[in-house]
Amino acid sequence: MSALARAAALSCAMGAFWVALACSSAERDTTRTPSATARDESPRPRQPTPTMEMLLRGKLTDDDFKAAIAMLSQADAEADVERALEGRDWRLLAVEDYTLLTPGYAGDRRQLPDGVSIATVAGTSGSAGSKHQQRFQFLATRYAKEYNTLLLQRVKGAAASGEAR
């Protein structure tokens, strides 16, 4: 095999690796199961909002990013937090940059309130992609900051008042 053929094969293998990594990022979720409450003895399954489903779904093409941008442009973080709390989905959103960032939360992830976990937004990256991926990265980070801040306020407020979540 010539050096050029070996280089082409390696390039294809690396491309397949990055595609597989992008697809698998939607599946990464460091979830801790919420504890049962006095009012509700059996934990209900998590019911993600449409925005959360879109953020966690893999994005590989510009059309995927354009659809996600359109949805994020219309997203209402406050309404999404309300629906997430009702649906028992207490995941903070993290975006990949050079490291994994959780906008709106600067604390130690091990100190999150019970039942709160972190889910990585699929399609975010520390390296520049297409103009659509870059726009998505910006909007996802902005949305995650607002969403995470509101979710943590509500969860901490409910815990402080003794409300069952």
pLDDT of residue 109: 86
Q: Cα-atom radius of gyration of the chain, to the nearest Å?
A: 18
pLDDT of residue 43: 54
What are the residue ranges spanned by the domains of the chain? 3-161
pLDDT of residue 67: 96
Rounded to the nearest 5 percent, the helix, strand and coil shares of the chain are 55, 10, 40
Of 66, 67, 72, residue with least CA distance to 93: 72
Residue with the larger pLDDT of the pair 21 and 5: 5
Separation CA 51–CA 49 (nearest Å): 5
Residue with the larger pLDDT of the pair 36 and 80: 80
Exposed e or buried b per residue across 96-115, where buried means at least 16 C-beta atoms within 10 angstroms of its C-beta: beeeebbbbbeeeeeebeeb
pLDDT of residue 45: 67
Residues 87/46, Cβ–Cβ less than 8 Å: yes
Residue 52, C-beta contacts closer than 8 angstroms, at least 6 positions apart: 80, 84, 89, 91, 93, 119
The pLDDT tens digits of the residues spanning 76-89 come to 999 999 999 998 89
DSSP string, 26-74: GG-EE--PPPP-SS-SSPPPP---HHHHHHHS---SHHHHHHHHHHHHH
Residue with the larger pLDDT of the pair 142 and 40: 142
